[in-house]
């Protein structure tokens, strides 16, 4: 009884917080756990192909989420938008494969900074999927984000690697996926959204993993399980943030991930972010900040 009362008090205290504060806490937690997952991916990619890592991320993530299935049965997968979940599964497949590959070949901070262009792509996708208007601030945000991307890549001055282009493609897919998540939260529960994502990516990544399969070393299974745990917890926190606030308000908070990943990259791999990476990320951030400026109501 005491434990139940303590849980009720904690839930009441959480609900009493302003939506902005709850979203901030959730996104701070999500970015930290996801940055940890990305660090584990980089470590594992030294001996395991990224496609196989992507499969294990979803497979072990499904195991972490299995208590929800045991408790609720098929109701855990209840959805009002099965087609949208399927579309998100396709975009997530390409996003995961390209992202995991990118993490294995370029610096963690650079990959993360380039991934922030998902906000730019998401702003464009929101016009199509959420029927949001393409206001001036949205155009400015996209152009500013594109400028930040060019600062990081510096095409013509240095060679643009395949890894960087792969990360950009991943950001494009994630940007669409983030908007689809916001659309799904209008009708579906958070657990259902996560379960469909994890199930679809587990099934769809397996053929790619099978084509490059090598059995992990015994100690690797700990890291693979940790990766699945961090990914599922981070995903739950991020989707919860999207459930509470508008997509345009939540997406810029993803930039906290650069702080986490820069710290982890330095501590575990001795990587120090390039000045151009930091400047470019700041420019992209400023573009994303434009999305948070309230629109002036139309006089009609």
pTM for the whole thing?
Answer: 0.80
Mean pLDDT of the chain: 83
Residue 99 reports pLDDT greater than 90: yes
3-state secondary structure of 272: coil
Residue 298: pLDDT band with limits 50, 70, 90: very low
For the record, the structure tokens of 48 come out as: 């395991």
Residue 123 reports pLDDT greater than 50: yes
- β-partners of residue 155 are 158
pLDDT at position 115 is: 86
Best CA proximity match to 43, nearest among 274, 277, 273, 265: 265
pLDDT at position 41 is: 92
Q: Locate the domains of the chain by residue range.
A: 24-290
pLDDT at position 299 is: 44
Choice between 160 and 88, residue whose per-residue pLDDT is larger: 88
pLDDT at position 2 is: 60
pLDDT at position 93 is: 95
Residue 156: pLDDT band with limits 50, 70, 90: low
Cα 24 versus chain centre, distance: 15
12-16, 32-36, 174-178, 220-224: least confident range? 12-16
């Amino acid at each position: 009884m005491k434990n139940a009362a303590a849980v009720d008090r904690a839930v009441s205290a959480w609900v009493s917080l302003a939506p902005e504060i709850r979203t901030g806490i959730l996104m701070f937690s999500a970015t930290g756990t996801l940055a940890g997952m990305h660090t584990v991916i980089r470590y594992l990619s030294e001996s395991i192909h990224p496609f196989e890592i992507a499969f294990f991320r979803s497979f072990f993530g499904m195991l972490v989420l299995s208590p929800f299935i045991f408790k609720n049965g098929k109701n855990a997968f209840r959805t009002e938008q099965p087609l949208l979940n399927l579309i998100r599964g396709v975009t997530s497949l390409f996003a995961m494969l390209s992202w995991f590959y990118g993490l294995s070949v370029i610096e963690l901070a650079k990959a993360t900074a380039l991934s922030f262009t998902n906000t730019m792509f998401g702003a464009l996708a929101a016009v199509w999927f959420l029927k949001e208007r393409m206001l001036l601030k949205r155009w400015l945000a996209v152009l500013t984000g594109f400028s930040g991307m060019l600062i990081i890549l510096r095409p013509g001055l240095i060679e643009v690697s395949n890894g960087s282009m792969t990360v950009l493609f991943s950001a494009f897919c994630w940007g669409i996926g983030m908007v689809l998540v916001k659309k799904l939260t209008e009708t579906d529960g958070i657990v259902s959204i996560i379960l469909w994502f994890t199930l679809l990516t587990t099934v769809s990544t397996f053929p790619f993993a099978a084509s490059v399969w090598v059995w992990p070393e015994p100690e690797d299974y700990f890291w693979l399980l940790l990766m699945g745990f961090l990914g599922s917890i981070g995903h739950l926190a991020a989707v919860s943030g999207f459930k509470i606030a508008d997509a345009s308000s939540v997406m810029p908070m993803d930039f906290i991930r650069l702080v986490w990943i820069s710290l982890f990259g330095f501590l575990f791999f001795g990587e120090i972010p390039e000045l151009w990476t930091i400047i470019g990320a700041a420019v992209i951030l400023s573009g994303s900040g434009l999305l948070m400026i309230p629109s002036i109501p139309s006089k009609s």
